[in-house]
Amino acid sequence: MTFTNDATRPYAEVIGDPIAHSKSPLIHGFWLEVLGIDADYRATHVTPEALPGYFAQRRADPHWRGCNITIPHKLAALDHVEDRGGVRGTIGAINLALRVDALDDEGDAIIGTNTDAGGFYAPIAGLDLSGAPVTVIGAGGAARAILFALSKIGVGPVTILNRNVLKAAALLATFGLKGQALPLNAGIGPCALLVNASALGMAGQPPLDVDLSALPEDAVVYDVVYAPLETALLKAARARDLETVDGLDMLIGQAALAFEMLFGAEPPRDRDEDLRALLTK
């Protein structure tokens, strides 16, 4: 695989294998157009074997601003970037590589970071969750970013429900969270925030069947799955008149942080309704 290109202006991209499904080009393309920024954002197919060659080529390309990173490269990409924020020891995966000035004034450097934690937090930043009980379903990559964010907020006890309970217990320890790890069928107890961070409910995956009757009236239900957008979990929460946050909120939130770092401009968040319409067309 070769990654030569004819770019004559700044560009960024999302890399993955497969990559055709990614919504990142639509999001970043929309913001670039609204702001009238003379730059591109594209999707580039990169296989695991091609990853070292990809970073070698892009490092030498002055037009390349950076890339979003998706499955299966979120961990392997750490070997090709500077990990100034210590992401390897916390979230354990990056979703953004970025060209920045080198610390030693020798040209530039590529750093890795993760905007999923900030993207998850943005839609719930107005909630007071300090000391509040939280339930998270899932213990994969998305859950790691979410638990990292929850540990920074200082939430109360965290219950993680996951198929692999040991993996969930290890995450509580990794993020210094008090709480418990339980199997998926343990049921949802009372909590202030319920997050589905698993693949359950996603198109092509088994459904997520949970009973929300134990949730208090002011509980917030957050589903990170965005395909479909209206998941069975969110439907059940709305049927109970609970506040909900959907997967596009997090997806747009993580992209907004990345956009600012890639293109040095704040995305036009007052156009979110138009963007959501574009993404759900």
Q: Which residues are catalytic?
A: 74
Site for ligand NAP in 182-211 (CB under 6 A): 198-200, 202, 205-206
For the chain, helix, strand, coil in percent to 5 are: 35, 20, 45
Q: How far is the CB of 57 from ligand NAP (least distance, A)?
A: 26
In the bound state with ligand NAP, the residue whose beta carbon lies nearer, of 66 and 118, is 118
Q: Which of 12, 87, 224, 245 binds ligand NAP (CB under 6 A)?
A: 224
Closest by CA to 253, choosing from 226, 280, 218, is 226
Q: Which of 87, 172, 192, 225 binds ligand NAP (CB under 6 A)?
A: 225
Q: How far is the CB of 112 from ligand NAP (least distance, A)?
A: 16
Residue 276 in contact with ligand NAP, rule: CB under 6 A: no
Tokens of 48: 């695991």
Q: How far is the CB of 160 from ligand NAP (least distance, A)?
A: 9
Q: Which of 163, 260, 261, 272 binds ligand NAP (CB under 6 A)?
A: 163
Residue 139 in contact with ligand NAP, rule: CB under 6 A: yes
Residue 19 in contact with ligand NAP, rule: CB under 6 A: no
In the bound state with ligand NAP, the residue whose beta carbon lies nearer, of 39 and 202, is 202
The Cα–Cα gap between 221 and 47 comes to: 36
- How many CB atoms neighbour CB 113 within 10 A? 22
Q: Which of 16, 112, 133, 138 binds ligand NAP (CB under 6 A)?
A: 138
In the bound state with ligand NAP, the residue whose beta carbon lies nearer, of 25 and 141, is 141
Q: Which of 136, 142, 147, 191 binds ligand NAP (CB under 6 A)?
A: 142
For residue 86, is it left (φ>0), alpha (ψ between -120 and 50) or beta?
A: left
Site size for ligand NAP, by CB under 6 A?
A: 25
Q: One symbol per residue from 85 to 124: x for binding ligand NAP (CB under 6 A), - otherwise; what is it?
A: -------------------------------x--x-----
The long-range contacts involving 225-234, CB below 8 angstroms and separated by at least 24 positions, are 225/196, 225/199, 225/200, 225/201, 226/23, 226/250, 226/251, 227/202, 227/203, 228/203, 229/280, 231/196, 231/201, 232/201, 232/207, 232/208, 233/196, 233/201, 233/208
Specify the residue for token string 């990056």.
94
Q: How far is the CB of 172 from ligand NAP (least distance, A)?
A: 14
The Cα–Cα gap between 67 and 110 comes to: 10
Question: What is the CA angle 55-254-178, rounded to 5?
Answer: 105
Query: In 3-state terms, what secondary structure has residue 167?
Result: helix
Q: Which of 59, 88, 167, 276 binds ligand NAP (CB under 6 A)?
A: 167
The Cα–Cα gap between 72 and 15 comes to: 9
- How distant, in Å, are the alpha carbons of 92, 217, 246 from that of 220? 27, 9, 11
Which residues lie near ligand NAP (CB under 6 A)? 116, 119, 138-143, 162-164, 167, 198-200, 202, 205-206, 224-226, 247, 250-251, 254
